[in-house]
Structure formats: C-alpha cells, structure tokens
Amino acid sequence: MNYIVLDLEWNQGSQSPSVSGTPLPFEIIEIGAVKLNNDRVMIDEFSELIKPQIYKTMHYMTGKIIHLKMQELNLAKPFTDVMARFLEWCGKDPVFCTWGPLDLYELQRNMTYYGFKPLSDRPFAFYDVQKLFALEHEENHKRLALETAVDQIGIEKDIPFHRAFSDAYYTAKVFAEIKRDDTLRHYSYDVYSPPKNKEAEQVLFFGNYDKYISRTFASKEAMLQDRKVKNCDCYICNQKAQKIVKFFSPTGKYYLGLSKCDVHGFIKVKVRIRKSEDDRYFTVKTRKIITPAEAEEIIIRSKKFKNGKRLPAKKEGKK
C-alpha cells in the first residue's frame, strides 16, 4: 500500500461563483504530491503546473500567496494531460492524505468538469493530516496552519512554503511523525460522491463516536424528516435514548441535539447538512458520548436558541 500526500493550488475569478455562474469556482493550476510506502517513507514525488482554461488572469490573492505568474502557467500542459499522468503515477488503490479536507473535493470537481470519473463513486476514506496532528498534539484539537505544525514538531524547513509540492512535502513530514495507533484510526471521508440509495449509506465507528453518511434527498425538508437522520439513540448499545435537547441550529449549517442513554450517558448528536453536485441534500451525522459538563453546555446553548431554527415539525397525516 502507498500513501499519496497531495496538495493543490488553484485560481478563481474576481466574482463569486453565484454571480459568475461558473460550474468550476476553483480551477487547479498546480498539483504537488509525495508518495510514501507502507512505513511512511518517501519514495517518489510529483510536481506539475497546469495551463489555465477558464480564468485567464491571476486572482490577486492567489498570486500574492503562491508567487506564480500567468506567463509561467501558459507554458504548462492542460489539466487533462497532467491529471492522466498523475492518476497513473498514483498507482492502484492509494490512500490519499491532505492538509485539511478541501483538496480532494476540488480535485474531483475539476476532474468531472474535464470529463474524468471521480476518484470513487461513493464516500471513501482518506487521512486529513491537519486533523490527525490536532488529535495527537493539541489538547483542544485546534487545527493549526501547516507551517505552525512543522515548527511545533521541529521539522527542518529546507524549501519554501505555499507551493503545491512544498506543502505536500511538509504534510508528508508531519504525517510521518504521527505515532499513536489510536490517532491513525481516525480516517476522514470524502463525500464528493455521496451514497445514491439507502443500501449504499455508510455507518462508521471510531470508538468514542460514530458517523452516518446518508443517501441524497430531493429537498432538505425531506432529509431532515428521515427517521435515520433524526435518530438519537445510543450507537454503542443500540438502545433507545431519552431526548434531552431537541435539534436546533446554532449556525444554519448544522443541527445539534442531545440525548441520554441509561447505560452510557449523554450523547451529542450533530447533523451536518451537505449538498451534492447535482443539487440534492444529504447529511453527515455524528453521535458522540460526552461528559455531563459538556451536556450542560449544549443545554445552555439550546436555551439561547430556543426561538431560533429547529428541525421542522412533522406534518399531520404524513408518516
């Protein structure tokens, strides 16, 4: 098994996607990657610029961060050529690793735009090294910038940051320093291709919490009324749990609920709302055993939002 530690640089238009109407809000202009063997030792590298096809001028913030000029990019190969070489270089069944959760999603969005199949037709596991570092080194699991993590570990900074290959290189260095087996059990899941039906839904267990990735629904309301989406029972013993706090939405991006199992105690339930590329809705829901003090914090937050947004009530006559 090989690990592919990946980093991307992308450009964008001066207008927001909602205004410009572009199907590709972020156009990849550089792919950098490091290949590690099963012992997490570097064995190969990949670095390619990509000739832009959509955005012909460099966004000022992109150019400021990565110090690339359009003249350099215009001499590069197009995405289709670079992507074909990259996929061949990755080999069969690699485990992808990234710093943060965005790169694989944007890679597949670009792949779809240029006629490639996504990396998978369903959610797949990868390592978010930023999350792994936070789990192993940060008491409050705070996510840090890559350079901050490199400094904290004491890794030698022998090449500049903020280019695709260099950031993949440093991410690989940090990944190699993740020592605990319990940390490495915390895979993340890419959901560019969510489950298409009930049979393909995924329930994943991580010891102290579980994760449920639902199928897609035509509307958010239909999704939020689904019995499995709303389920707050204990994921350890599968026994019915008492609902303490009804679902409420502190930010509008997710719903939070609280239940209590007679055996295992308080359970925090978080329902994240996601939208697929074909404008359907699905959820990534987690259930986690928490302390009484953490449960009290949720109760207090719920009271603050008692007049705020909650899950819609079930309509009369509907099952």
**Do the beta carbons of residue 6 and residue 97 sit within 8 Å?**
yes
- CA 188, CA 185: separation in Å to the nearest integer? 9
Q: What is the pLDDT of residue 251?
A: 79
- CB atoms inside a 10 Å sphere around CB 309: 13
Q: What is the pLDDT of residue 252?
A: 77
- The model carries a pTM of 0.87
- CA 318, CA 279: separation in Å to the nearest integer? 25
**Angle, CA of 31, 151 and 5, to the nearest 5°:** 25
SS3 64: helix
Q: In tens digits, what is the pLDDT along the chain, a chain of 319 residues?
A: 899 999 999 998 765 555 456 778 999 999 999 999 999 999 999 999 999 999 888 776 776 667 788 888 999 999 999 999 999 999 999 999 999 999 999 999 999 999 999 999 999 999 999 999 999 998 778 899 999 999 999 999 998 888 999 999 999 999 999 999 999 999 999 999 999 999 999 999 988 899 999 999 999 999 989 999 999 999 999 999 999 999 998 877 899 999 999 999 999 999 999 999 999 999 999 999 999 999 999 999 898 876 555 555 444 333 3
Secondary element (H or E) of residue 299: helix 292-304
- Which residue, chain included where needed, has tokens 């192993």? 136
* Tokens encoding 193: 């291709």
Q: What is the pLDDT of residue 316?
A: 38
Q: What is the pLDDT of residue 219?
A: 94
**Do the beta carbons of residue 47 and residue 32 sit within 8 Å?**
yes
Fold entry, domain 3-184: Nucleotidyltransferase; domain 5 (3.30.420)
Domain extents for the chain?
Answer: 3-184, 199-304
Looking at residue 49, its amino acid is L
Q: What is the pLDDT of residue 23?
A: 76
Secondary element (H or E) of residue 5: strand 3-11
Residues linked to residue 253 through DSSP beta bridges, in sequence order: none
